[in-house]
A and B are shown apart, each in its own frame.
Chain A
Amino acid sequence: MDSLPLTHEKRARIESAYADLRDRLLILAAALTADWAAAEDVVHDAFATIVREHWRLQNGFNLEGFLTVCVRNRAMNVLRSETLRKRAQPHSGFLIDPKASDPGARTVAQEERAMLLDAVRKLSPENREILSLRIWGGLSFEEISQLQEIAKSSAHDRYRQALSEVRIALQEVQGGRNERLEP
């Protein structure tokens, strides 16, 4: 079944999912891997999986949930291998925007994206995953708790804690900028 040609309906469904979910899945993968190139590969792999296993696309199949979990699992694999590879290397920054590596050329949106994702990156891996799956993966706390094998209330508490930590990190960045602006 895996290599049957895609029907028009399934093809349209996958194309529509890519158009609708591209940004969220890419951001989710980037938040988890801290690398845009790896994030693109992760998203590509997730879509390759559903194209290969398109027999899953029956009525009632949760394509968004499937893609989210695929992205999360692949990002975790990337992260594990990257962690081993980079263990001996110094920190080289986070999520350099591929289209605007020169800070002077960044737009406001790119600045905000870099700042927000940098704050997310400072979270513990567990909290970062919960926050990312909730916000960009669109998963419920129940789904996250099953994925992480923790209680639903723990998932909720850690999400709130993660948001709070991101907020503090952003306020620190903002405070630092204001101090530099003062004469």
Chain B
Amino acid sequence: MNDWNPEELEKRLANLRAPESPALDARIRELIQSASSPAKRLELVKRRSGSRRLISCGLIAAGVLVGVALCLLVQIAEPQSRLSPPVPIRVNTIQGTVLVKHRGESTWEELGASSQLRVGDQFWAGSASKVSLAMNDGSLVTLTAGGVLSIAHQDGGMEFELTHGTMRAVMREGHPPFAIRTPQGRLEALGTEFTVSVE
């Protein structure tokens, strides 16, 4: 410890090790885990929903009808008012796990065959999963495993945003304007079949 020339000092400072901290390690692990697992998020959403029902039952049992009404207003009416307008797209086929998140929401839900799709909806296809969306004119958009796709807007046509993964489009002749936005740029569909990938 007696040699404090600048180079040695720099080396000693750079080689310092922080104290062990299992608590911090666990916090970071949990942080990464919670962001990695949409299934875990779904469970959390379901658990929260269960708690809300329980609370509502308690309020009814106590006879606080006004409270229940407020609860319904907050939990049912408000989320609906935030939803974007529906789009003329339906879920054609789903394979595996595909999640959807509506604009303004922070949680992911499992996409169902009869789900109502809206502007701003964001889809995530899990591993070994894919989803095919059908437009009114019969054109199809397929999102493959690991892909993330959003419905951007629909003014007179349809625009999607692909932020990750691969999507394939099979367009019918005479289809309305159709565009794909990616982090690298915007593509307009001229042909009838094409594939877009974002790394």
A48 and B31: CB pair below 8 A?
yes
B31 touches which one: A40, A51, A131, A136 (CB < 8 A)?
Answer: A51
Q: Contacts A23-B16, A163-B6; is A43 near B31 (CB within 8 Å)? A: no
A5 touches which one: B6, B19, B20, B35 (CB < 8 A)?
Answer: B35
Interface size range of chain A in the complex? 35 or more
Min distance, Cβ A43 to any Cβ of chain B, angstroms? 7
Q: Contacts A23-B16, A163-B9; is A3 near B4 (CB within 8 Å)? A: no
B124 and A44: CB pair below 8 A?
no
| Chain B residues whose C-beta falls within 8 Å of the C-beta of A98 in the assembled complex | 19, 21
Asked whether any CB of chain B lies closer than 8 Å to the CB of A54, the reply is: yes
| Chain B residues whose C-beta falls within 8 Å of the C-beta of A135 in the assembled complex | 10, 13-14
- Interface-side segment among A10-18, A70-78, A81-89: A10-18
B36 and A6: CB pair below 8 A?
yes
B17 touches which one: A5, A14, A109, A160 (CB < 8 A)?
Answer: A109
B24 and A170: CB pair below 8 A?
no
Q: Contacts A55-B163, A99-B20, A164-B6; is A112 near B12 (CB within 8 Å)? A: yes
B1 touches which one: A23, A120, A160, A174 (CB < 8 A)?
Answer: A174
Min distance, Cβ B45 to any Cβ of chain A, angstroms? 12
Min distance, Cβ B102 to any Cβ of chain A, angstroms? 12
Asked whether any CB of chain B lies closer than 8 Å to the CB of A4, the reply is: yes
| Chain B residues whose C-beta falls within 8 Å of the C-beta of A58 in the assembled complex | 183
A5 and B124: CB pair below 8 A?
yes
A44 and B28: CB pair below 8 A?
yes
Min distance, Cβ A159 to any Cβ of chain B, angstroms? 10
Q: Which 10 A-B pairs have the closest CB atoms?
A: A26-B18, A6-B36, A5-B38, A23-B18, A167-B4, A40-B24, A51-B35, A6-B35, A135-B13, A11-B36
Binding site for A on B (CB under 8 A): 1-2, 4, 6, 9-10, 12-14, 16-21, 23-24, 27-28, 31-32, 35-38, 41, 99, 101, 106-108, 122, 124, 146, 148, 163-164, 183, 199
Binding site for B on A (CB under 8 A): 1, 3-7, 11, 14-15, 18, 22-23, 26-27, 30, 36, 39-40, 43-44, 47-48, 51-52, 54-55, 58-59, 97-100, 109-110, 112-113, 115-117, 120, 131, 135-136, 160, 163-164, 166-167, 170-171, 174
Known pairs A4-B148, A26-B19 / 13 extra A-B pairs, C-beta < 8 Å: A4-B163, A14-B32, A18-B28, A23-B18, A26-B18, A39-B18, A40-B21, A98-B19, A100-B19, A110-B19, A115-B1, A167-B9, A170-B4
